[in-house]
Amino acid sequence: MTKMTYREAVRSGLREALRRDPRVFLMGEDVGRYGGTYACSKGFLDEFGPERIRDTPLSESTFVGAGIGAALGGMRPIVEVMTVNFSLLALDQILNNAATLRHMSGGQFNVPLVVRMATGAGRQVAAQHSHSLEGWYAHIPGITVLTPATVTDARGMLLTAVQEPDPVFIFEHAYLYSMEGEWEDNQPAVDISRAAVRRPGKDVSLITFGGSLWKALAAATDLAQAGIDAEVLDLRVLRPLDIGTILTSVRKTHRAVVIDEAWRTGSFAAEISAQIMEGAFFDLDAPVARVCSEEVPIPYPKHLEDAALPQPDKIVKAVHRLLK
Amino acid sequence: MTTSLTGNHGRDLLRQMLRIRRFEERAAELYQLGKIHGFLHLYIGEEAVAAGSIPLFTNEDAIVATYREHGHALVRGTSMDHLMAELYGKAAGCARGRGGSMHFFDASHRFYGGLAIVAGGLPVAVGLALADKMQGRTRVTGCYFGDGAVAEGEFHESLNLAALWKLPVLFLCENNFYAMGTALARHQSQPDIAAKANAYAMGSDTVDGMDVLAVETATSRALDLVRNGHGPYLLEYRTYRFRAHSMYDAELYRTKEEVNDWKRRDPTATFEQHLRHAQLLCDDDLQAIEALITSEIEVAVAFAEAAPWEPVQDLNKDVSTRQRDA
């Protein structure tokens, strides 16, 4: 067992990917001399050189598109878009090129591209830097969407992703970079197709992903004190969704609360809820509940930001309402 | 220039322009007959650009084009059978019929589309060139786009990045003076497109895009510079689209006189006259060229007609390589 932060786990995964495969290179804003906005590539410029650690201009659409082109040209680019907020500037390349090329070309071209970005709120950086849009990306066929919530996944998902033949988008929750966790040495390759049960339970399924996992686990601890045994599911992969693991859990607990840091309307939580209705309606003892962000731009002051986001106490309340 | 032009070469340039012209005239008829659907953006009037530039690229080079790419794929060497089948939407098409007119792809000719979001191909071309540079290959990526694309941020971002990293990209702007229906002077504060390269410390040139020999000469010079490691280069071909933006539009945005003025400079007719004056083309030559093209088109139409549709059960095939979505 090694203790490391989520940030160190990402850095360790990146370094390993760069060491293993000479086709892998890292490209993005301030990944080189600055060491990465979240210090995930600190020291890489010295270790791997400027050919493989490429600082880019602030041109999200073009450096993501260049990642697509480089992937088509035989490289294995890892593109860092600093945060999900700026990824909107690259949405055309992601949706119209990366996601479509294989199918639209009749299978002639595939795009082995990894795009990483920070996501989420909780750091008092206000409305334009606090988005949670991974659910939007999960809407798009042709890409894989990963949301690592643990240090093991932060490191291992990246290593698996760089071996994928098609585009993989990794959303690292910005709030988690300083979180410490345990990482097992010499572990096998990390799977990127299955959800994980992070806490087994029998009374209710708390279904979530990314930064909200830790809030759901905190809520489960509170609920345990009230005699309620919550199962906590970490989706890990939003697309393709492992609906089997979700339905197995719901069939056991008969109740589900979906926790998603995105706005409630049109959220990924809505998709999970719909799929539970489709697949396990008659197993439910109560309607599926959702704990999402309030439908407001995320405000700067801490008390307002906290109030806007899913919190353990909101999850606990939602569970109590279901069990009434 | 004329003195060095051989008859074979001149007739071949004419043949390629006419292949595009006749292919598209037939495509337009087939559209009227309901054989082809969706958008069909015709290149008629602009043939000198593809015919004069595409053959200068080697098989190892890459081509990225737009939704007005029939001519580029034809000259690049994709068989007309597969292109016509693609217009029909048949499984034997160059993209299994999934893309249609706007999305020709051909891996065997390193033809990367057929990308139909304006300026969306420029970043991809930059990346293809980056991959070549990082792997020590001396290949060039040719990136075609229209004058509409220069208003997009990706044009400026891509020129900047390609120049900053000295990447082997030849940017080929086919300026037909209209972004769909908006005239260049109505959307650009600086309508001299070649001049925009200066802002990125990049070389550029303006070319008469109605003159296939001028296209060939300028492109050859630019390609040499890019291939020899001088970084990217921008060529602006001034040309004109004789037909509507897609199959139909009311053409409220331009006058008949303007269209007719440009038609007097029709690249196929003027070059045919040029070859005749130079005694490099006679009536028999032209008839032979036309007959070959007619027969190539008839074979392609028959091929497309007879080709099977992709079965519906293959709808989800190749969404992803591992087919996990299916």
HEC assignment per residue over A247-283: HHHHHHHCCEEEEEEEECCCCHHHHHHHHHHHHHHHH
Q: Is A73 in Cβ contact with B117 (below 8 Å)?
A: no
In degrees rounded to 5, what are phi and psi of residue A313?
-65, -35
In order, the DSSP letters of A63-105 are HHHHHHHHHHTT-EEEEEEEEHHHHGGGHHIIIIIITTHHHHT
pLDDT at B311 > cutoff 80: yes
Q: What per-residue confidence (pLDDT) applies to A181?
A: 94
Contact A75 B164 (CB under 8 A): no
What pLDDT is stored for residue B325 in this prediction? 44
ipTM value, please give it: 0.96
At B234-278, the pLDDT tens digits run: 999 999 999 998 888 889 999 999 999 999 999 999 999 999 999
Q: Give the mutation candidate from B101, B128, B137, B143 for the A interface (greatest A CB count, under 10 A).
A: B128
Judged by CB atoms closer than 8 Å, whether chains meet at B160 and A75 is answered as no
pLDDT at residue A187 is higher than 90? no
Active site residues of A: 60, 129
Beta-carbon separation of B62 and A106 below 8 A: no
Residues of chain A with pLDDT > 70, as a percent, come to 100
CA dihedral A233, A236, A240, A244 (to 10 degrees): -20
> Touching check for B181 and chain A: CB below 8 Å?
no
**pLDDT of B324:** 54
Q: Is A214 on the interface with B (CB under 8 A)?
A: no
Q: Which positions 44-73 of B are in contact with A (Cβ < 8 Å)?
A: 62
Contact B275, B14 (CB under 8 A): yes
Amino acid occupying residue B68: R
What's the confidence (pLDDT) of residue B3?
A: 54
Mean pLDDT of chain A: 97
Asked if the Cβ–Cβ distance from A92 to B129 is below 8 Å, we say no
pLDDT tens sequence across A98-130: 999 999 999 999 999 999 999 999 999 999 999
Asked if pLDDT for residue A206 goes beyond 90, the answer is yes
Contacts of A70 in chain B (CB under 8 A): 127-128, 130-131, 134
Q: Which chain B positions have a beta carbon within 8 Å of A65's beta carbon?
A: 120, 122-124, 126-127, 154, 158
Answer whether A109 sits within 8 Å of B105, measured CB to CB. Answer: yes
- pLDDT tens column, A156-172: 999 999 999 999 999 99
Report whether CATH 3.40.50.300 matches the domain B7-307: no
pLDDT tens for B89-101 read: 999 999 999 999 9
Check A105 against B317: CB less than 8 A apart: no
Question: Count of CB atoms within 10 A of residue A302's CB?
Answer: 11
Distance, CA of B52 to CA of A9 (rounded, Å): 53
pLDDT at A38 exceeding the cut of 80: yes
Task: Give the architecture-level CATH label for domain A2-183.
Answer: 3-Layer(aba) Sandwich (3.40)
Q: What architecture (CATH level 2) is domain A196-323? A: 3-Layer(aba) Sandwich (3.40)
Confidence of residue B322 (pLDDT cuts 50, 70, 90): confident
Nearest CB partner across the interface for B128, out of A73, A107, A240 = A73
Mean pLDDT of A28-57: 96
pLDDT (tens digit, 9 = 90+) per residue, B8-61? 999 999 999 999 999 999 999 999 999 999 999 999 999 999 999 999 999 999
Residues of chain B neighbouring A108 (CB-CB closer than 8 A) = 95, 105-107
Q: State whether residue A187 sits within 8 Å of chain B by CB.
A: no
Contact B117/A at CB under 8 A = yes
User: Touching check for B306 and chain A: CB below 8 Å?
Assistant: no
Which of A66, A71, A193 shows the shortest C-beta gap to B126? Answer: A66
Q: What is the mean pLDDT of residues A237-256?
A: 98
One-letter amino acid at A67 equals: G
Closest in B98, B115, B132 to A106, CB measured: B98
Residues 6+ apart with CB under 8 A from B3: none
On whether any CB of chain A is under 8 Å from the CB of B107, the answer is: yes
DSSP state of B142: E
In the predicted model, what is the mean pLDDT of residues A195-212?
98
CA distances from A145 to A141, A191, B239, B297 (A): 10, 13, 44, 45
Number of alpha carbons in the 13 Å side-chain half-sphere of residue B78:
30
Residues 6+ apart with CB under 8 A from A323: A203, A204, A228, A255, A286
Q: Is B322 an 8 Å CB contact of chain A?
A: yes
pLDDT, position B1:
47
Give the 3-state secondary structure of residue B300. Answer: helix
Residue B326 has pLDDT above 50, yes or no: no
Q: Does A263 have pLDDT greater than 80?
A: yes
Sorted by sequence, the CB contacts under 8 Å of residue B274 that are 6+ apart come out as: B2, B10, B213
Hey, is the C-beta of B157 within 8 angstroms of any chain A C-beta? yes
Q: Is the Cβ–Cβ distance between B61 and B223 less than 8 Å?
A: no
Per domain, the residue ranges of chain A are 2-183, 196-323
Cβ neighbours of A239 in B, within 8 Å: 325
B161 touches chain A (CB under 8 A): yes
Is the pLDDT at B291 greater than 90? The verdict is yes
Is there a contact between A104 and B322 if contact means CB atoms under 8 Å apart? no
Residues in chain A: 324
- Residue A77 pLDDT greater than 60, yes or no: yes
Has residue A243 got a pLDDT over 80? Answer: yes
- Please determine, for residue A27, whether its predicted confidence score (pLDDT) is greater than 90: yes
